Amino acid sequence: MVNQERFQIVSAGKTVRAKAPQEVLQQLTSAFSIGAEQGKKLFLKGWVIKDQLSSAQVVQYRTQLQQLGLKIEVHPAGKFDNQAILARLKFARQREARKNQLPDANNVQVEVAAPPSSASLKPTEPKSAKEPLVHESALQQEKKPAASEAASPKAPSNHKNGTAWKQLRALFQEEAASQDESVASRIALLPHMLAAAIVPLMFALLLCLCLYQLGMALWSLPAAALAGEFGSATILSAGLTTLLVLFVGVVVVYPFYVAGRSRDSHDLVGSEGNAEDGQGNQSLRLVKKDAPGLFLLLDVLEDTCGLGIATKQKGPQNLSSAVVATQVVVTSGSQIKVIKAGQGQFRLSIGLAAVATLQGGDVLGLIGRALSYYRGRWSRLATELSIGTAQRLQNMQDAFEQERTIFGNDESVITPLRPLHRMVALCGHALIPVVDRLHNMHGRLSGRLGRHLEAQADRTAAHLLGSDGFQGFAERWNYLVHSDLICSEINREAQLIGKKLADVPAAVRWMYSNLSSEDKTGIDAAMGQETEFWPMDEPAGHQRITAVEAHDCAPQLQRVDFSLQKLFEDFVELCGRVSRADGDDSCRPVENRLLLESDKESEAAQQVLTEYFNRVIPRDFLHLKLPTNNELAELDLQSSIDWLRSRLLDLQELEQRRAQLQLTGARIQVGAALVRANLRIDPRSYDLSGTTPSAADESIRDNRVRLEECQQQRHLIHSLFYQRITRTIAAMDTGARGGAEASVSRLRAFDALAEPLTVLGRYGDVVCELIERLPNQELPQTLLQKYPQIICEQVRKLNQLVARHGVVVSAPQQQKLSACGEGAIELSVKGRKDELASGLQALELRCKTVCGVVQEGYQLELAGLLKLCLEEEKRLKVKPLRLAAISA
């Protein structure tokens, strides 16, 4: 156990979201008495600030640096080395100087449009797909007039003589250069492929050995009977051998071959958003009617450049022949990669954030790069041996660390199997160091092959965009990944309070367009670091850019300033659908702006709430009543905190269960309305006990009872939080006590909004359910006419209550509330479905915005009170609540 007791403090490469980088830099230079240049190095991701620290010193340094505003990470001593970063920075400077010295050999000039500012591009405002991201020069437009309309085919035809096919084909050069590898290059890879096959061969031999021993154990029983030697010893020997073989198979063989596949199967939902596996829904299967132009573009790409994974799919039931097509799934993130679909088939996974943010040429480069790993059987075999095995080992290690076994996760294992599950999980924990060593060994054995595949993929992207354009492509790719990581972190923090981004691709596009110069400088420095080869979607750095530029590839794309958004039937609706499927189902989507443009005051409030509630922040108003139980009411401040610490996990489960019951109630309400309209439905998909009005009413009552029981248990725990507040206020001095009591009075004024706000949230959930059901379910006109009117009326009622009860909200918040109550939204089933979906989404957004604005005002007021309480608790030296570990 080397360096187990010593650690190092490493920069995370970014500041806390509440502080500006320049402000943090000034504080760092002042606190540590260092120069500005040396202080800037602290913003480099992976820069070692202090090494060989004890655990006590780590706590001291971490507290001081985070107070100054710098995010840091803690690693074992010696893991990172500043000399490597300095060498990469030197390499980047040399490469930049060499690039500036090179003459411009291109006659055709391409002018890159500047990214829009934060003032001109709102977080939830979709950029027009007609607006080009790259503008060609007049000379290039004269040479290629035929390609001017290639970006927007509306009714693509599968026939190669169709208009849409010709428009998309015009994007490429007339004669595409071949990218096939020679026989000699394939033969040269054989030694590297044999080296990469050692680790998977070890597991294959272990599997064969297990099957052989299992077969011999089972054969020993009839063999002993035929020989006349059958007895209890034979049965015992065969039983022990079988148990031992099954144990080895369950602990070692099963995780290697199945862990990654079982995890990926939980990440897919149907094209209409129906969960197939119940948990972790993060992607939607894309059908041809949702993006006919995209599927046609993939066919053109395969026909032109030989890049494709199309396989035979089952055709319509009335046809016996199969259809050759590419399986596509979409996610809300930025990754574009190929994933296994089982039975030797593959799916192309497209991140809609990449489509929404990058120009069409860059997205095609990412698609071509992902497909290049599976171009031909030789590449697929090499990819499976090197990268596939590395991914299998990583999935195996993740399964051991997360205690996923053949019996499932901790939550899903039934009670009789829990002892076996626990035993297998403990054995898996013991094997983690062994798997880590196998991973390192495989990395050394297959490194040459993996780097070859990585370079081949980069050259494929350069083959489409040209070697000269690969550097700009790689920079935009890195900026996209960085923006996606920031939005993912924002979304994860928002889910702690029951919220999530309503449109993740639009949020990534807004973050991409508003990256600061400091962010881009840090990303450029990170591009100098060497990356692993087995993540196939790892952005290219400086070394890979230099290698690609040395090949001098001519671009196969005649133009890059087109948008792939026009290839989708309704790109905005699809982004909203994928964003709703991503993350925790119990979290409600809110307007992007409420999460992306939060000011410093909101940031500070969230930090206070996170500390006071130990990350289990109430998703609505806090229950401001003392406990009625005499035993609980007699607890002092420290005893109340200790009691709360023992109930935090219960409170977290109650918050999630309450949110799930609210969503179930909305689903039941929609199902009941469809039943009363005499429409045919599947009662199970609406959580109904039957298809009669009486059965629907019974389901509504049952769900309401469960919700009330959950609310009562939740109120009991919240009453102890309020008792904690009152005990702390009682210990304050006179001046602080008066301010705290006034804050409690202002919080009580919000109680008048609790009931109408809950009703409005329920209407929002119902509208969200209508959006999900719209593609496949007929909706009656009476149902669509009902909710716009009552939602607008509820918003106006909420505004009146705010004025009547003197609820404290800021001027911008009051303006948002007033704006949401103005104007009417009319819905009709006679119009187009995309127009109806847009109207429903606007209605849902109105509900979520009003709820989010009121909740934001309440949390700001609550955080002001809790900040005083935390300061008083520290003065009283009370043992804090944060000692319990709560999962995110």
Do 780 and 674 contact (CB within 8 A), yes or no?
A: yes
Query: Could you give the C-alpha distances from 148 to 143, 145, 380, in angstroms and in order?
Result: 11, 6, 36
Q: Side chain identity at 386, as an amino acid letter?
A: S
553, burial (CB in 10 Å: exposed 0-12, middle 13-18, buried 19+):
buried
Give the mean pLDDT of 703-713: 93
Torsion of CA 89, 92, 98, 103, to 10 degrees: -150
Sorted by sequence, the CB contacts under 8 Å of residue 811 that are 6+ apart come out as: none
Give the mean pLDDT of 249-260: 88
What does the block give as tokens for 673? 């309305």
Q: Length of the chain, please? A: 888
Torsion sign (Cα): 485, 486, 489, 495: negative
Nearest to 577 by CA among 278, 281, 288: 281
- How many angstroms separate the CA atoms of 836 and 498, rounded? 27
What does the block give as tokens for 83? 């000399």
Q: Which residue has the higher pLDDT, 139 or 846?
A: 846
Give the mean pLDDT of 159-173: 80
Whether 205 has a pLDDT exceeding 90, the answer reads yes
Residue 44: DSSP 8-state: S
Q: pLDDT per residue over 470-492, tens digit each?
A: 999 999 999 999 999 989 888 88
Local structure of 496: helix, strand or coil: coil
Local structure of 700: helix, strand or coil: helix
Number of Cβ within 10 Å of residue 261's Cβ equals 13
Q: pLDDT per residue over 856-888, tens digit each?
A: 889 999 999 999 999 999 999 998 887 544 443
| Res 281: pLDDT | 41
- Residue 331 phi, psi dihedral angles, 5° rounding: -125, 170
What does the block give as tokens for 539? 């952005």
Whether 1 has a pLDDT exceeding 60, the answer reads no
Give the mean pLDDT of 47-55: 79
pTM of the model: 0.67
User: How does DSSP assign 178-191, residue by residue?
Assistant: P-PPPHHHHHHHHH
What does the block give as tokens for 440? 């390192």
Query: Could you give the C-alpha distances from 488 to 177, 326, 332, 500, in angstroms and in order?
Result: 39, 28, 10, 10
Residue 387: DSSP 8-state: I
Do 778 and 679 contact (CB within 8 A), yes or no?
A: yes
- Residue 695 phi, psi dihedral angles, 5° rounding: -65, -35
- How many angstroms separate the CA atoms of 652 and 647, rounded? 9
Degrees, nearest 5: CA angle 840-595-14: 145
H helices present in 527-569, as ranges: 542-549
Q: Which residue has the higher pLDDT, 455 or 10?
A: 455
Mean pLDDT of the chain: 80
Nearest to 716 by CA among 642, 639, 654, 634: 654
Confidence of residue 129 (pLDDT cuts 50, 70, 90): very low
Whether 69 has a pLDDT exceeding 70, the answer reads yes
Q: Side chain identity at 724, as an amino acid letter?
A: R
Confidence of residue 130 (pLDDT cuts 50, 70, 90): very low
Sorted by sequence, the CB contacts under 8 Å of residue 453 that are 6+ apart come out as: 373, 379, 382, 383, 386, 387, 533
**High-pLDDT (> 70) share of the chain, %:** 83
**289 sits in which H/E element:** none
**563 sits in which H/E element:** none
H helices present in 636-692, as ranges: 637-646, 648-676
* Contacts made by residues 831-835, CB under 8 angstroms, sequence distance 24+: 833/774, 833/775, 834/569, 834/570, 834/573
Degrees, nearest 5: CA angle 292-294-300: 105
| Res 88: pLDDT | 66
- How many angstroms separate the CA atoms of 333 and 366, rounded? 14
Q: pLDDT per residue over 538-566, tens digit each?
A: 899 888 999 998 888 888 888 888 889 98
Whether 271 has a pLDDT exceeding 90, the answer reads no
